[in-house]
A and B are shown apart, each in its own frame.
Chain A
């Protein structure tokens, strides 16, 4: 795709044009975002060919729903990644998939600290607040968000009853919220 178009148009503009049925804008949007979204989906699905199906579903949904994006719902890239994550999670909850990859939370925290990229202040705040949680609580949050672990899978991984995981998540969410509001 023409690089001048990509650099000259923000993702929001591409989404706007896509919502009007502009297929070239949709393609540019795909070119600009698909590698990132595929990374997000693959990390959850852990199976390349199923992740490809989910990614296809994701972009078909983006094409159909592009007009629902408004600046009030957040950053365009967050909106897009949310669609991808939701479809990936729906998929792993609805069928048993042989998954191979698991996010390592050390790695994730390290990557949050990496310089550059989008919204460094938000990343730093999240890194600080995740870092403030106890190790197991932090692992639960990271494995849930990044790798799509259910409560049951977290329970199995940490050898705890599901009820304990539920409580742990509940407490971690409150702590995170309090910390992020302060940051």
Chain B
């Protein structure tokens, strides 16, 4: 490593190189491993300075724009696992079928998550998803159920908790009493429920009722159903 090359690497990382020199370095990085290593070394040495920047929260619109720009675009090289492809297709189908809002698409995309991310599902497990809304209006939340692990993921989109009350989530299956899946924590974007009783194929609906703060005292729904959605198998 000559001193000139070392200096070029450091100035490239600092950002002080004129545009043409900067472009030349970037071109060389593709094939010059000594230069690449020098650049990586300077990046590591100076990176503690990144930590001195003030964390600044972005407007939610920014994520939505990124999501739109990356939806459907494959990751650069690797092809996604098969089940992800299936779910993506389903998302596309739902989008077309329901002419849903961007919010629906955004929420659903978040659930393209089961492939390797959480604990893998038990072999006998099935995956279900419910788009929970109020009479065909914008989806209030999305629930994804993995019966293999008993994990239910709930993503809140527009669900609103009335003051002094709680929203409680129920599984409603034909021929059975509604079963509580837990209380939705107000203000939380997403939450995970470990539901040990969920196993085998599930059908029916996910419903949300308004209950006294902390949830139904009796274990059965006492308040009005504000949102509901049918469980649909995703694979």
Contact = CB atoms under 8 A, between A and B. Distances in A.
Contacts of A142: 49
A19 B45 contact: no
B58 A34 contact: yes
A1 interface: yes
Contact of A5 (B53, B74, B75, B118): B118
B97 interface: no
A161 interface: no
A126 B51 contact: no
A78 B44 contact: yes
Interface in B3-41: 3, 6-7, 10-11, 13-16, 18-19, 22, 40
Interface of B: 3, 6-7, 10-11, 13-16, 18-19, 22, 40, 43-59, 62-63, 65-67, 69-71, 73-81, 84, 109-113, 115-118, 153, 189-192
Interface of A: 1-2, 4-5, 9, 17-27, 30, 34-36, 38-40, 42-44, 52, 55-56, 59-60, 63-68, 73-75, 77-78, 81-82, 85, 89-90, 93-94, 103, 107-108, 111-112, 117-119, 122-123, 126-127, 141-142, 144-146, 148-151, 154, 169-170, 173-174, 176-177, 180
22 contacts: A2-B191, A5-B117, A9-B117, A19-B75, A20-B75, A23-B67, A23-B110, A25-B117, A27-B67, A30-B63, A34-B62, A56-B66, A77-B50, A108-B52, A111-B52, A119-B48, A144-B15, A146-B53, A149-B15, A149-B16, A169-B7, A176-B10
